[in-house]
Amino acid sequence: MASKNYLQLEIDGQKYGLKFNIGTFKILGENLGVDPFTYKTASKEFSDVVNWVKPILKAALLSNHLTKKETVEYTDQQIDDLVNELSVADLTLIGNMWSNPSDSKPSVNGEVTQNTQSGTDLG
């Protein structure tokens, strides 16, 4: 399911929630040591897009757990395994949710934050 700031992936029967909020920006910035507002891929090569999406996926997974006040860590191998199970459409959707902040980030007036866990189901 996906709303403007939440996406749920189902891989091998396991559901994974991705939260695209300020926590995602913080985690991505801390993990990569970059300004998350400038994090993008200039390449359209598939391998470059996959490598670009991996840190976004990890940050969004962790942000979802933090939102739910759960402590979870993912290894790089676990993230690689998840990414390897994603379809091109799933990778594209994750990239689009990250790349289009006006579509995927909470609005100032709270319209998006009222419904944080409903939307498109992938799997």
Order of all β-strands in the sheet with 14-19: 14-19, 6-11, 121-122
44-56: pLDDT as tens digits: 888 888 999 999 9
Instruction: Give the pLDDT mean for 72-78.
Output: 88
The C-alpha angle with vertex 123 and arms to 100 and 94, in degrees rounded to 5, equals 15
Q: Judge if pTM exceeds 0.95.
A: no
Where are the domains positioned within the chain?
A: 6-12+22-105
Helix (H) or strand (E) holding 14: strand 14-19
Residue with tokens 């998350």: 36
5-52: pLDDT as tens digits: 899 988 888 899 999 999 999 999 999 999 998 898 878 888 888 999
pLDDT band at 67 (very low <50, low <70, confident <90, very high): very high
Write the DSSP assignment of 37-54 as a string of letters.
GG-------HHHHHHHHH
Instruction: Give the pLDDT mean for 93-122.
Output: 53
Rounded to a whole number, what is the largest CA-CA distance in the chain? 38
The answer to whether residue 122 scores a pLDDT higher than 70 is no
Q: Residue 61 corresponds to which tokens in the numbers above? A: 């997974």
With a CB cutoff of 8 Å and minimum separation 6, the contacts of 14 are none
